[in-house]
Chain A
Amino acid sequence: MANLTLVQAINLALVQEMEKDDRVIILGEDVGPNGGVFRVTEGLHKRFGAHRVVDSPLAESGIIGTSIGLAMAGLRPVPEIQFEGFLGPAYDQLCSHAARMRTRTRGAFTVPMTVRVPVGGGIHAPELHSDSPESIYAHTPGLKVVMPSSPYDAKGLLVASIRDPDPVIFFEPKRIYRAFREEVPEDEYVIPLGQARVVCEGEEMTMVSWGSSVIQCMQAIERTGRNIELIDLRTIYPLDMDAIEASVKKTGRCVIVHEAPKTCGLGAEISARIMERCFLHLEAPVQRVTGFDTIMPYYKLELEYLPDAARIARAIEETAAY
């Protein structure tokens, strides 16, 4: 086992899947000799050659659109989009085509591609480098959306995504790309999509989060000293509602934490599902700690925007006080 960062764990998953399956190819801006702007594909160009690790023109619609064609023809493309803010030009291809191809052709054609995209704030970046658009894609039937919060999970989830027969958007929280290390087995393992992880067990309250907010939640839980069960979704769609339901029925309280704006954020969906499934078990209203319904500010104010341990801890106390 090696002690790896999130970046290294993703790199390892890519290397292993490419070695195993020559249908797997990587394409995107700067993914080649430069190894990607975050160095996630470092060394792959050298190892697998320019025909499998392809520097593409600066064109997100082109990257995703051609990946759809590659995938329809039986390859397993793993395109990289540099930042989530640049999914915009690719939106049409993702939502009008990738998500619909299976249905449109009644299963005759499928799009087994994995779109890797760094996501979220907290790294002092310019505009459009810090957003959290996961609910837009979770709201698009036909796509799967994954967001790991740890190196171990990232490796297992990426392998599952690459092998998945449907299009997956694999969001990588860039704030924790290199923030900490974790033991990651060299051996092959797969974390199935659609299964949440219980980060820590507890009785007093349930917290649900994903991506780098999970780390903020852990800090907040420590700060309050309360006995809290923290659930990391890992896969945003398919949503592991069963795990949330079981936990909320046990604790009777729930706080959901995400970086994305509140309105139509995934917290709204989860909260509504809890009402549907756990209403009679609730001791307090389901609460959300989120970004605000504003544009993600330039970095001088980004920490004011992002839910941090202090704000989450306050929410925990407020929810506990009901």
Chain B
Amino acid sequence: MPITKVFSTEIERVSILDEHGKFDEKLGKGLIPDADLLRLYESMVACRHLDEVAFRLQRSGRMGTYPQNMGQEANSLGAAYALNKDDWLVPCYRENCGLFWRGVPMELILLHWMGDERGNAIPRELYCTPLAIPIGTQMLHATGLAWASKYRGEKRLACTFFGDGATSEGDFHEACNFAANLEIPVIFFCQNNFWAISVPGKIQCSAPTVAQRAIAYGMKTVQCDGNDLFAVVKCVRDMAAYTRETGKPAFIEGVTYRLGDHTTADDARRYRDAAEVEMWKTRDPITRLKAYMKDRKIWNDSKEGELKEKVEKEIAAAVERAETIAAPTRDDFFNAMYAELPPDLERQRDTMQTHGLGEDPAQLEGAEVRQLDHPEHAH
């Protein structure tokens, strides 16, 4: 028999609470206790509201470019909930909800998008890495972070998030290959929201699922309904158990949708069908969960009203904290450059305010420098 089959496989898709409100009792029972469910719901609502506020801040010039999380909240939240508090969360930039669950203060995230580097000063004990702009690079860091845990004999794993676009970058493939071959306990979580700015998912991956990319690396993989908090929690929990047990990596494709523009600098109407967006709105993770909780009689309109009020206050307070923190000063961009500022850089810092040349004023001793009308640094 000269031709034999050497490989075939299937990929499972996990859905527990579907978009019609049907709940799979077998998979979902006991997965999330009601008390937790209420807190998770609250967290998603807060995250969504922060998005809306951030959008308005951007439009009124109080914030720079901001990438909305709208519609994708269940993914990073479900993961942060399912993981241990000291597992590494290695986000891209649409994972606010998971970061907030972990304890990252909202004002830090706001500050970051307000163009202030102190917003990325995430406390180390939260085990979250900073937001960084290059697409596709952080999966390698996650692999290294998890590798360090393995090296030290700890059970801490890393879970990294990225979009479907990111799976086109070489670094993604290098991370998968390292993690699989060196058996590193990292979970790769693709938030497949179907678009990378204007480029549709099929230009990033011509296979029917992103999840199957992992198969090429010999990695365990699953697809989940990323707008279903239950499905996300189950998949992350299962994969985390597997990863902790075997030390091997795993891959999750959370199928979701970017309900807003790519960022506030984008206008998705230019390239995206309105009907597609409308269809996805019916699968919104928040409304879906709310309907389920109402069905179960653990939620009602008056609780929703109270929550809305509470969340509005919470976000307004976070915005106020972010906006009232003293502005960064010129020295700030020098100070975190090195453990110890090299003398040359110190000199640049100390002369920049007084001298056009940013150099040693001693050079000019005795020279008569004509004063201009507006010698002060102009903005």
In the bound complex, residues from chain A placing their C-beta under 8 Å from that of B345 are 292-294
Bound-state Cα–Cα, A250 to B375, Å? 28
A97 within 8 A of B: no
Which residue of the partner chain A has the closest CB to B335? A294
A32 interface residue (CB < 8 Å to B): yes
Q: Return B303 CB to nearest CB of chain A, in Å.
A: 37
B125 interface contact, C-beta 8 A: no
- Binding stretch for chain B, among A50-58, A143-151, A161-169, A180-188: A50-58
Q: Does A295 contact B (CB under 8 A)?
A: yes
Tell me if A301 and B170 are in contact (CB < 8 A).
no
Interface residues of A in 276-301 (CB under 8 A from B): 285, 287-290, 292-295, 297-301
* Complexed CA–CA distance, A62 and B166 (Å): 13
Q: What 1/0 flags go to B259-271 for Cβ under 8 Å of A?
A: 0000001100011
Q: Report whether B133 and A301 are in contact in the complex, using a CB–CB cutoff of 8 Å.
A: no
Q: With A297-B117, A317-B372 as given contacts, are A37 and B134 in contact (CB-CB < 8 Å)?
A: no
- Kindly provide the distance from the CB of B132 to the nearest chain A CB, expressed in whole angstroms: 7
Whether A318 contacts B355 in the complex (CB less than 8 A), given A59-B170, A295-B333, comes out as yes
Write out the residue numbers on chain B whose beta carbons fall within 8 Å of the beta carbon of A48.
none
Segment at the B interface, from A70-78, A125-133, A189-197, A228-236? A125-133
A310 located at the interface, meaning its Cβ lies under 8 Å from any Cβ of chain B in the complex? yes
Q: Is the CB of A224 within 8 A of B372?
A: yes
Q: Within the complex, which residue of B199, B333, B357, B375 is in contact with A310, where a contact is CB–CB below 8 Å?
A: B375
- Contacting residues of chain B (292-350) with chain A, CB-CB under 8 angstroms: 327-328, 330, 332-334, 337, 344-345, 348-349
Q: Which of A11-19, A85-93, A206-214, A240-248 contacts B (4 or more CB under 8 A)?
A: A85-93
Shortest Cβ distance from B165 into A: residue: A58
Chain B 340-367 near chain A by CB (<8 Å), digits 1 or 0: 0000110011001001111100011001
Out of B64, B133, B358, B378, name the residue touching A308 (CB < 8 Å): B378
- Interface residues as binary, B112-143 with A (CB distance below 8 Å gives 1, 0 otherwise): 11111100000000000000111110000000
Give residues of chain B (140-173) contacting chain A, Cβ–Cβ below 8 Å.
165-166, 168-171
Indicate which residue in B136, B198, B332, B334 contacts A34 across the interface (CB closer than 8 Å). B198
Q: Is A33 an interface residue (CB 8 A)?
A: yes
Q: 1/0 contact trace for A306-321 toward B, CB 8 Å?
A: 0011111111111111
Q: In the complex, what's the smallest C-beta–C-beta distance from A63 to chain B, in angstroms?
A: 10
Which of A33, A125, A223, A293 lies in contact with B64, CB distance below 8 A? A125
Q: How far is the CA of A125 from the CA of B133 in the complex (A)?
A: 11
Report how far A32 CA is from B133 CA in the complex, Å. Answer: 23
A305 within 8 A of B: yes
Residues of B near A309 (CB, < 8 A) are: 378
Q: Mark A242-277, 1 if CB is under 8 A from B, else 0.
A: 000000000000000000001100000000000000
Across-interface contacts of A293 in B (CB, < 8 A): 337, 344-345, 348
CB distance from A267 to the nearest CB of B (A): 11
Closest 5 CB pairs of A and B: A314-B356, A315-B356, A34-B198, A299-B115, A57-B168
Chain B residue numbers with a CB within 8 Å of A305 are 333
List of A residues within 8 angstroms of B377 by Cβ: 304, 308, 310-311
Contact in complex: A29, B196 (CB < 8 Å):
yes
For A36, the closest partner residue in chain B by CB is: B198
Interface residue? B26 (CB, 8 A): no
The residue from A55, A129, A295, A314 contacting B198, defined by CB atoms under 8 A apart: A55
Q: Which residues of A sit under 8 angstroms from B203, Cβ to Cβ?
A: 55-57
User: Would A314 and B372 count as touching, CB distance under 8 A?
Assistant: yes
- Closest partner residue, chain A, to B359 (CB atom): A287
B residues near A285, Cβ cutoff 8 Å: 363
Contacts A34-B197, A55-B199: A321 and B368 contacting too (C-beta < 8 A)?
A: yes
- Interface size grouping (class) on chain B: 35 or more
Q: Decide if A124 touches B115 in the complex (CB within 8 Å).
A: yes
Interface contact A316-B356, CB-CB below 8 Å? yes
Known: A88-B134, A127-B133. 13 other contacts (CB 8 A): A32-B199, A37-B266, A58-B135, A62-B170, A89-B136, A289-B358, A292-B348, A293-B344, A301-B330, A304-B333, A304-B377, A314-B356, A318-B355
Is the pair B348, A321 in contact by a Cβ cutoff of 8 Å?
A: no
**Most chain B CB neighbours (cut-off 10 Å) among A29, A62, A288, A289:** A29
Contact A57 B368 (CB under 8 A): no
**Which residues does A use to contact B, with CB under 8 Å?**
29-30, 32-35, 37, 55-62, 85-86, 88-89, 124-129, 223-224, 262-263, 285, 287-290, 292-295, 297-305, 308-322
13 residue pairs bridging A and B, Cβ less than 8 Å apart: A58-B166, A58-B196, A61-B170, A126-B64, A263-B344, A289-B356, A292-B349, A292-B352, A300-B115, A300-B327, A312-B356, A314-B357, A315-B355
Chain B residues with CB under 8 Å of chain A are: 64-65, 112-117, 132-136, 165-166, 168-171, 196-199, 203-204, 265-266, 270-271, 327-328, 330, 332-334, 337, 344-345, 348-349, 352, 355-359, 363-364, 367-379
From B61, which residue of chain A is reached at the shortest CB distance? A124
Residues on the A chain within 8 Å of B337, using CB? 293-295
Given A33-B198, A57-B203, A59-B168, A310-B378 contact (CB < 8 Å): yes
- Which of B132, B204, B327, B370 is most buried by chain A, counting CB atoms within 10 A of its CB? B370
Complex Cα distance, B203 from A168, in Å, reads 27
- Partner of A317 from B115, B348, B370 at Cβ < 8 Å: B370
Q: Which A residue sits closest to B368, measured CB to CB?
A: A321
Contact indicator A89/B169 (Cβ below 8 Å): yes
Distance of A167 from chain B, by nearest CB (Å): 20
Of all chain A residues, the one with the shortest Cβ separation from B171 is: A89
CA distance A287 to B363 in the complex (A): 12
| B334 in contact with A292 (CB, 8 Å) | yes
- Residues of B with C-beta under 8 A to A288: 357
From A29, A86, A302, A320, B199 is in contact (CB under 8 Å) with A29
Measured CB to CB, the closest approach of chain B to A133, in angstroms, equals 14
Contact present for B356 and A318 (CB under 8 Å): yes
Q: Is the CB of A128 within 8 A of B134?
A: yes
Q: CA separation between A292 and B64, bound complex, in Å?
A: 23
Distance of B271 from chain A, by nearest CB (Å): 5
**In the complex, which residues of chain A have a beta carbon less than 8 angstroms from the beta carbon of B379?**
303
Asked if A89 and B372 make an inter-chain contact with CB atoms under 8 angstroms apart, the answer reads no
CB-based contact B333/A301 at 8 Å: yes
